Amino acid sequence: MGMAWPRYFILTVFFLPAMVQAGIVRHYKFNVEMTNTTRMCSTKPIVTVNGKFPGPTIYAREDDTVLIKVVNHVKYNVSIHWHGIRQLRTGWADGPAYITQCPIQPGQSYVYNFTITGQRGTLLWHAHILWLRATVHGALVILPKLGVPYPFPKPQREVVVVLAEWWKSDTEDVINEATKSGLAPNVSDAHTINGHPGPTSSCVKHGGFNLNVEGGKTYLLRIINAGLNEELFFKIAGHKLTVVEVDATYVKPFKIDSIVIAPGQTTNVLLTTDQGSGKYMMAASTFMDAPIAVDNLTATATLHYTGTLATSPTTLTTPPPKNATSIANNFIDSLKALNSIKYPAKVPKNTVDHSLLFTVGLGINPCPTCKAGNGSRVVASINNVTFVMPTISLLQAHFFNIKGIFTTDFPGNPPNVFNYTGPGPTNLQTTNGTKVYRLSYNDTVQVVLQDTGIIAQENHPVHLHGFNFFVVGKGLGNYNSSKDPTKFNLVDPVERNTVSVPSGGWVAIRFQADNPGVWFMHCHLEVHTTWGLKMAFLVDNGKGPNESILSPPKDLPKC
Ligand code: C2O
C-alpha cells in the first residue's frame, strides 16, 4: 500500500474546493449580420446578432467564465459591451470601441472572455459603437451560484422583458444626417416590448408580445431598457409590481404601480397573478420632463391568464404622462440596497480620496459646414470637455505606454463656476479633448453629477463602466458641498451602474477604484454620447498580486 494518500482525501482537499469555487465555462457565438425584418408594417434590413431582435439572451451563473465569439459579417465596425459586468482586471473584454479595444472590423472576429465575480441578476449586452445598439442588444441573465436562493420567494417562472426603440429608417442614416446638420436626430418611430410595439394607429394589425401566465403564481420579470435615447415608464394594468433588484443588485422589496427605467438600466420585479383570469395591458412609454421632442407612442403587450379566451377584452391602462416627474421619483426614491447580512451594502463611508463635481449637459460649438444648424452644432460635455474619440483604444495606449493618445488632465471640478441650473452663461462653447481622470488603485471616489440648464435642463442617465456605485444623495438645483452631504445615505443607498441625474438637479455617487484599467463614463442616451457627454477614469495597477490589468488576449482587434 505504501504511502499513497487515500483517494477521497485527495478529492476533498485538492479538488472539491476548486469545484465549489469555480463556475463553469460557457461558450456563445454571436454572428453580427444583416437581417430582414418586418416591424411597424415596414420591411427593412437591420443589424442583428444571430438574426434576432432583441438578440439572444446570455445565461450564466455567478463565478462562471463566459466566452463569446463575436464574428462581424456586416459592413460596419463592431464592438459589444457587457453592460454592468465588472470586468475585474479584464478591461479588454469590456467592449466600448476606442476606449478598451479597437473595433472588430468587417470579416474579423474577437472572443470576449470574462469571469462574473460577485454579481448576480439582470444586465444587458449591446453594441458599443456608432448607433448599432439600436438593434444589437439583448439580455444577460446571471443566476446565483448553484444552491444559493434568491433573497425573495422563488418565482414560478422568469421572463425577460426587453424594452427598446424602433426607427423606420436605418439608424446609421438617422445619426449621420443629424451630425451633418448639427441638429438633434429624429426621435424613434415606436417603442418595443420584446421586439414588438403592439398594435399602433399606423399599424393596427401588428401583434405584440404575449405573456401567458397562470393565476395565483409569482413571476419574475427581468425588465431591461435597451432603448437609445429615452427613459421609459413600465406598468401592467390591474397589477402591482414588487421591485426586488436593479442593475444586478438586490434592493429592499417594495410594491409600486409604475417603474421608470433609463437606457442601460435593468429592474427585476415580482408579478403576482392575483387577478385569476383575464387579459391585461402592459405599457412602456417615455419619461421626459424637459421641453425636448420624444417618441410619443406607447408600446403595448399583453398579460394573458390561461383559460381566458383570446377574443375577450383586454383591461387597459393609461401610462403616466411623459412629464410625470413625481411618478418617476416615487420609484427612484423607493430604491434602497437590500443591505442584508448576506448582501451588505459596502458603501465607502469615511475618507473620500477624490471629491469630484462634474457638470453634465449640452453646449453649442461652431460648425461652418452645418447649414441647418446655422453654422453651429449642438454638443455635450462633462465639465465643459467634449470628449474626442481617440484613434486607438485608451486601454491599449495605457497598457503599452503609447504616448499622445490621451491626457490625464480631466478637470475634477467645473472650469467655470456659474449658476448651473439657472439661465446659464452667455458663452455656450465647450472645449474638445481626450482627457481621463487618473485614480490610484483602491482610491475612494465621490462624483457629484450636476445637470446644467445650457439649452435645456434635462435628465441624463449616466453609466460608469467597470464599477458599481452607491447613489448616496440627490437633489434639485445646484449642489451645495457644505449642506448636502449631511443628508447623504451611507447606510443602505441603492447600488447601480447607471443613474439618472435629475433635470435641473444633481446626484452623488461613491465607488471604490478597485479595478485597474480604463473605464468609460457617459450619458447612456446615445445622442448625448455621440455629442461628447463622455469621459474615462484611468485606474492604475495596485501593488498586490491580483491588482494589475491582465495581458490582452492574442486576438484583440487592431485599429
Ligand atoms: Cu451600456 Cu458604455 O454602455
In whole angstroms, how far apart are CA 390 and each of 393, 477, 501? 7, 34, 27
> What are the b/e assignments for 219-228, b being 16+ CB within 10 Å?
bbbbbbbbbb
Q: What CA–CA distance (Å, rounded) separates 474 from 492?
A: 14
107 shares its domain with 167: no
Atom of ligand 1 nearest to the CA of 84: 1
The three-class DSSP label of residue 16 is helix
136 shares its domain with 281: no
Atom of ligand 1 nearest to the CA of 520: 2
Q: Strands 25-39 and 80-83, how do they pair?
A: unpaired
Please report the pLDDT score of residue 38 as a whole number: 75
Please report the pLDDT score of residue 15 as a whole number: 45
- Closest-CA residue, ligand 1 atom 3, reads 83
175 shares its domain with 130: no
From first to last of the 559 residues of the chain, give the pLDDT tens digit: 344 444 444 444 444 444 445 799 999 999 999 999 877 677 789 999 999 999 999 999 999 999 999 999 999 999 999 999 999 999 999 999 999 999 999 999 999 999 999 999 999 999 999 999 999 999 999 999 999 999 999 999 999 999 999 999 999 999 999 999 999 999 999 999 999 999 876 776 677 999 999 999 999 999 999 999 999 999 999 999 999 999 999 999 999 999 999 999 999 999 999 999 999 999 999 999 999 999 999 999 999 999 999 999 999 999 999 999 999 999 999 999 999 999 999 999 989 999 999 999 999 999 999 999 999 999 999 999 999 999 999 999 999 999 999 999 999 999 999 999 998 788 999 999 999 999 999 999 999 999 999 999 999 999 999 999 999 999 999 999 999 999 999 999 999 999 999 999 999 999 999 999 999 999 999 999 999 999 999 999 999 999 999 999 999 999 9
Kindly list the strands in the beta sheet with 495-496, ordered across the sheet, starting from the edge strand earlier in the chain.
431-433, 385-387, 376-382, 354-366, 444-451, 505-512, 469-476, 495-496
Q: How far is ligand 1, taken at its centre, from the CA of residue 278, in Å?
A: 38
Q: Is residue 550 part of a domain?
A: no
Q: Please identify, among 118, 143, 168, the residue that sits at the C-terminal boundary of a domain.
A: 143
**Structural domain for 420, as ranges:** 354-539
Q: Is residue 488 part of a domain?
A: yes
Q: Please identify, among 303, 334, 365, the residue that sits at the C-terminal boundary of a domain.
A: 334
Please work out, in degrees rounded to the nearest 5, the angle formed at the alpha carbon of residue 239 by the alpha carbons of 237 and 245. 115
Neighbours of 10 (CB within 10 A): 12
Q: Is residue 308 part of a domain?
A: yes
Q: Which residues contact 466 (CB under 8 A, 6 or more apart)?
A: 86, 87, 91, 94, 515, 517, 519, 537, 539
Q: How far is ligand 1, taken at its centre, from the CA of residue 428, in Å?
A: 27
Q: Is residue 330 part of a domain?
A: yes
Q: Is residue 348 part of a domain?
A: no
Atom of ligand 1 nearest to the CA of 96: 2
Q: How far is ligand 1, taken at its centre, from the CA of residue 112, in Å?
A: 16
Q: What is the DSSP string of 187-241?
A: PPSEEEETTB--SBTTBTT----EEEE-TT-EEEEEEEE--SS-EEEEEETT--E
Atom of ligand 1 nearest to the CA of 465: 2
DSSP bridge pairs for 380? 362
> What are the b/e assignments for 16-54, b being 16+ CB within 10 Å?
eeeeeeebeeeebebbbbebebebbeeeeebbbbeeebb
Q: Is residue 298 part of a domain?
A: yes
Q: How far is ligand 1, taken at its centre, from the CA of residue 489, in Å?
A: 26
How big, in percent rounded to 5, are the helix, strand and coil portions of the chain? 10, 40, 50
161 shares its domain with 138: no
Q: How far is ligand 1, taken at its centre, from the CA of residue 275, in Å?
A: 38
With a Cβ cut-off of 6 Å, ligand 1 is lined by 81, 83, 96, 126, 128, 264, 463, 465, 520, 522, 524
Q: Is residue 551 part of a domain?
A: no
Please report the pLDDT score of residue 18 as a whole number: 43
53 shares its domain with 161: no
Q: How far is ligand 1, taken at its centre, from the CA of residue 197, in Å?
A: 24
Upper half-sphere CA count for residue 47 (Cβ side, 13 Å): 27
Please report the pLDDT score of residue 495 as a whole number: 98
CB 287, CB 320: distance < 8 Å: yes
Which of left, alpha, beta for 504 (phi over 0: left; psi -120 to 50: alpha)?
A: left
Count of structural domains within the chain: 3
Q: How far is ligand 1, taken at its centre, from the CA of residue 80, in Å?
A: 9
> Grid coordinates 401588428 are at which residue?
206
Q: How far is ligand 1, taken at its centre, from the CA of residue 274, in Å?
A: 37
Q: What CA–CA distance (Å, rounded) separates 57 from 250?
A: 21
168 shares its domain with 125: no
359 shares its domain with 278: no
Atom of ligand 1 nearest to the CA of 83: 1
Please report the pLDDT score of residue 9 as a whole number: 43
Q: Which residues contact 41 (CB under 8 A, 6 or more apart)?
A: 202, 203, 205, 206
136 shares its domain with 169: no
Q: Is residue 83 part of a domain?
A: yes
Atom of ligand 1 nearest to the CA of 498: 1
Q: How far is ligand 1, taken at its centre, from the CA of residue 401, in Å?
A: 25
508 shares its domain with 443: yes
409 shares its domain with 486: yes
> Grid coordinates 486607438 are at which residue?
392
Atom of ligand 1 nearest to the CA of 124: 1
398 shares its domain with 516: yes
Domain CATH for 384: 2.60.40.420
- How far, in whole angstroms, is CA 374 from its chain's centroid? 34
Q: Please identify, among 334, 364, 398, the residue that sits at the C-terminal boundary of a domain.
A: 334
Q: Which residues contact 100 (CB under 8 A, 6 or more apart)?
A: 91, 92, 94, 393, 394, 395, 465, 517, 518, 520
What is the model's pTM? 0.95
Q: Strands 469-476 and 385-387, how do they pair?
A: unpaired
324 shares its domain with 364: no
Q: How far is ligand 1, taken at its centre, from the CA of residue 519, in Å?
A: 10
CB 501, CB 450: distance < 8 Å: yes
Atom of ligand 1 nearest to the CA of 95: 2
